[in-house]
Amino acid sequence: MNEDGERELVDLKTRTRQFAIRVVRLYSSLPKDTVAQVIGKQLLRSGTSVGAHYREGMRSRSTAEFVSKLAGGLQELEEALYWMELTVESEVFGEERMKEIMQEASELIAVLTTCIKNAKRKEREGKDRG
């Protein structure tokens, strides 16, 4: 892999871990009422698993396994974004407070979607040549 490719992988590994840390801090700052805690626990679970899925994908033995692991991470990001939206819409936290982390979730969704598409395209191209 080229130097830029290596840098991208390290950046995404770091970025997904930083996202998880932000989710943990967000959860810790939630009000202790039942609604906030139920939503928060769902967000905590989904938001912290993204990086784990990504790391598993990086250790995959095949393109199909890589795509599967990243798709799992993508599902967790979509779910985390859903819980963030509920946090705002149920007025647990205001939109301004959630804006940056929701933007990061959206950006990570776009990045993982691109990674999955590229992996599938490369696999198809490899089969076409073989």
pLDDT of residue 129: 66
Question: What is d(CA 119, CA 125) in angstroms, rounded to the nearest whole number?
Answer: 10
Closest CA to 70 of 14, 117, 126: 117
Class of domain 3-129: mainly alpha
pTM: 0.87
Over residues 111-127, mean pLDDT: 92
Question: What is d(CA 102, CA 94) in angstroms, rounded to the nearest whole number?
Answer: 12
3-state SS, residue 90: coil
pLDDT of residue 124: 87
Domain ranges of the chain: 3-129
Residue 72's alpha-carbon distances to 8, 39, 56, 65, in angstroms, are 20, 20, 10, 11
Summary mean pLDDT of the chain? 92
Over residues 109-120, mean pLDDT: 96
**With bands split at pLDDT 50, 70 and 90, how would you rate the model's confidence at 3?**
very low
Residue 54 has pLDDT above 90, yes or no: yes
Share of residues in the chain with pLDDT > 90 (%):
85
Closest CA to 69 of 46, 81, 82, 51: 51
| Burial of 45 (C-beta count, 10 Å sphere; 0-12/13-18/19+) | middle
pLDDT of residue 125: 87
pLDDT of residue 130: 58
Length of the chain, please? 130
Lowest mean pLDDT among 11-20, 42-51, 98-107, 117-126: 117-126
The identity of residue 90, as a single letter, is S
Contact 43, 87 (CB under 8 A): yes
